[in-house]
């Protein structure tokens, strides 16, 4: 079973690039951006959304970002750190790419980021942002556009506290982002922990965990299971008859619009926290949601929004540097002000290049006969992360 699956150029990349081939020639070679993301196996729809939204942003600017013609090269890491590392190596050495993005899962990022940064490259993360890269091992050339992992779960912990849930049962997969999830949730949750369980990242059946939850009889459950894992978890939670008695409070990765479609009406009443939702009432968000729906015929998930904002942030930086990434110091100066119109409204970078932003409570409600995520109150305002103080460039 040790044979590594070879990466392949996703056809979507070629699709997104076709219209810009000719004008690019006239202005010299386009700037290459390397995108390593998860396009196969469970969780592949997360990578697909990031890729599709990123390419949409490029397309909306006519094949450019910040006025600079770009060529996005997309490769599939198949959720394997080793494979991600090999692709990064090829991007850096053979393709001479300096600007990378795209990784969904923190364990893949953990293998790739050090290589990119050591080689003098820049990494702009549309999703995974583990605690180490926000704190002691932070880097001037590592940018997080989505959130620091913990923030997702801190906001959920705050919401559970606000909702008066006194005894919570918490679960997450046993990998970097899962451990960050448990730590983050407990940081702002004031109640009592009824039980704490680490699941496996390749687990599909949660019957044993369901029995444990029922035995512990908590007020609520918090669980972090991104992508297909979360769908399986929530469905089995409903099948076990638990959702009616033990409400769930979730962070956005465990309840995106795809998960919601899978779970259906049974999810009505579930509480979620997020930095963005497709019903946000600002011009940038509305434009993005409309364009995404028109091009791909589906509602964008948070992952899509993060991919889109990543492209916007890179565009703003490229505009400042005149489309160059060779001078990382100049890129840093151009990127830091975050002078782009984020789909989430308010956005700025903290001292450690991670977002400082507001977090919102969402609730699954019946809208026009279908369950949808509806934005409610603000949970956290101008929230950064707990690791920024440990970061020295």
Partner 1 sequence: MALLLEQLLNGVQLGVMLFLLAAGLTLVFGIMGVINLAHGSLYMVGAYAAAVTASATGSAILSLLAGLVAAAAVGMALEYVVLRRLYARDHLDQVLATFGLILFFNQGMVLLFGRQPLFVDVPEALQGFVRVLPGIDYPVYRLVIIAIGLMVAFGLYWLIQRTRIGMLVRAGATHREMVRALGVDVRLLYTLVFGLGALLAGLAGLMAGPILSVQPGMGEQILITTFVVVVIGGIGSVRGALFGAVLVGVVDTMLRAYVPGLLREVMAGSEADALGAGLASMGVYLLMALVLLVKPRGLFPAHA
Per the DSSP assignment, residues forming a β-bridge with 169 are: 195, 221
User: Cβ 317 to partner 1, closest distance in Å?
Assistant: 30
Contact set for partner 1, span 284-323 (CB under 8 A): 298
User: Cβ 346 to partner 1, closest distance in Å?
Assistant: 31
Binding residue (CB under 8 A) for partner 1 from 9, 67, 95, 202: 202
Q: Is 36 exposed, middle or buried (0-12, 13-18, 19+ CB in 10 A)?
A: buried
In angstroms, how far is the first alpha carbon of the chain from the final one?
41
Q: Which of these segments, 20-28, 94-102, 160-168, 202-210, binds partner 1 (CB under 8 A)?
A: 202-210
Q: Quick one: 119 or 262, whose CB is closer to partner 1?
A: 262
153: Cβ contacts below 8 Å, ≥ 6 apart? 180, 181, 182, 183, 184, 185, 187, 222, 224, 251
User: Cβ 344 to partner 1, closest distance in Å?
Assistant: 24
User: Cβ 48 to partner 1, closest distance in Å?
Assistant: 5
Q: Cα torsion at 65, 66, 70, 74 (round to 10°)? A: -40
User: Cβ 174 to partner 1, closest distance in Å?
Assistant: 4
- Helices of type H across 217-301: 228-239, 257-263, 283-296
Counting contacts by CB under 8 A, is residue 209 touching partner 1?
Answer: yes
Q: Cα 59 to the chain's mean position, in Å?
A: 21
Counting contacts by CB under 8 A, is residue 136 touching partner 1?
Answer: no
Counting contacts by CB under 8 A, is residue 370 touching partner 1?
Answer: no
Counting contacts by CB under 8 A, is residue 133 touching partner 1?
Answer: no
Contact 142, 332 (CB under 8 A): no
Counting contacts by CB under 8 A, is residue 161 touching partner 1?
Answer: no
Binding residue (CB under 8 A) for partner 1 from 167, 179, 286, 363: 179
Identify the helix (H) or strand (E) that includes residue 376. strand 370-383
Counting contacts by CB under 8 A, is residue 268 touching partner 1?
Answer: no
Contact set for partner 1, span 21-60 (CB under 8 A): 39-42, 44-45, 48
Counting contacts by CB under 8 A, is residue 119 touching partner 1?
Answer: no
Contact 69, 91 (CB under 8 A): no
Counting contacts by CB under 8 A, is residue 387 touching partner 1?
Answer: no
Place of tokens 């700025």: 348
Counting contacts by CB under 8 A, is residue 81 touching partner 1?
Answer: no
User: Cβ 270 to partner 1, closest distance in Å?
Assistant: 17
Strands 122-125 and 64-65: unpaired
| CA-CA-CA-CA torsion sign (134, 141, 288, 321) | positive
User: Cβ 50 to partner 1, closest distance in Å?
Assistant: 12
Q: Which of these segments, 58-66, 114-122, 197-205, 375-383, binds partner 1 (CB under 8 A)?
A: 197-205
Counting contacts by CB under 8 A, is residue 244 touching partner 1?
Answer: no
Binding residue (CB under 8 A) for partner 1 from 19, 82, 120, 241: 241
Counting contacts by CB under 8 A, is residue 132 touching partner 1?
Answer: no
Read out DSSP for 317-358? HHHHHTS--S-HHHHHHHHTT--S--TTS--EE-TTS-EEEE
Task: Give buried/exposed letters for 205-237 (b at 16+ CB in 10 A, else e).
Answer: ebeebbeebeebebbbbbbbbbbbbbbbbbbbb
Count of residues touching partner 1 (by CB under 8 A): 40
Query: What does the binding site for partner 1 look like in residue numbers (CB under 8 A)?
Result: 1, 3, 5, 39-42, 44-45, 48, 174, 179, 182, 196-200, 202, 204-205, 207-209, 211-212, 215, 228, 231-232, 235-236, 239-241, 258, 261-262, 264, 298
């Amino acid at each position: 079973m040790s044979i590594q699956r070879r990466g392949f150029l996703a056809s979507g990349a070629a699709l997104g690039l076709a219209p810009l081939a000719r004008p690019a020639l006239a202005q010299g070679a386009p700037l290459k951006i390397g995108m390593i993301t998860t396009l196969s196996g469970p969780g592949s729809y997360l990578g697909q959304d990031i890729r599709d939204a990123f390419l949409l942003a490029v397309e909306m600017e006519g094949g450019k970002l910040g006025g600079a013609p770009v060529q996005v090269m997309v490769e599939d890491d198949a959720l394997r750190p080793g494979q991600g590392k090999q692709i990064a190596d090829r991007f850096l050495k053979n393709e001479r790419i300096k600007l990378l993005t795209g990784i969904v899962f923190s364990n893949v990022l953990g293998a790739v980021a050090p290589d990119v940064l050591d080689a003098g490259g820049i990494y702009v993360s549309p999703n995974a942002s583990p605690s180490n890269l926000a704190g002691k091992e932070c880097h001037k050339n590592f940018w997080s556009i989505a959130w620091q992992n913990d923030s997702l779960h801190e906001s959920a912990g705050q919401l559970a506290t606000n909702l008066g849930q006194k005894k919570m049962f918490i679960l997450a997969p046993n990998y970097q982002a899962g451990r960050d999830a448990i730590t983050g949730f407990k940081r702002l949750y004031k109640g009592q922990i009824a039980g704490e369980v680490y699941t496996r990242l390749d687990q599909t059946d949660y019957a044993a965990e369901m029995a444990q939850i029922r035995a512990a009889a908590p007020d609520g459950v918090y669980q972090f299971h991104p992508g297909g894992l979360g769908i399986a978890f929530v469905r089995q939670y409903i099948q076990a008859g638990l959702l009616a008695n033990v409400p769930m409070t979730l962070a956005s990765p465990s309840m995106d619009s795809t998960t919601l479609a899978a779970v259906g009406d049974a999810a009505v009443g579930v509480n979620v926290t997020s930095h963005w939702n497709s019903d946000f009432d600002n011009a940038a968000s509305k434009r993005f949601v409309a364009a995404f729906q028109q091009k791909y015929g589906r509602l964008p998930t948070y992952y899509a929004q993060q991919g889109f904002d990543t492209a916007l942030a890179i565009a703003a930086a490229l505009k400042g540097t005149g489309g160059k990434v060779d001078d990382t110091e100049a890129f840093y100066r151009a990127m830091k002000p975050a002078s782009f119109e984020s789909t989430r409204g308010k956005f700025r970078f903290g001292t450690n290049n991670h977002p400082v932003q507001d977090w919102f409570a969402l609730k699954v409600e019946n809208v026009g006969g279908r369950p949808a995520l509806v934005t409610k109150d603000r949970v956290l305002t101008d929230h950064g992360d707990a690791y920024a103080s440990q970061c020295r460039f």
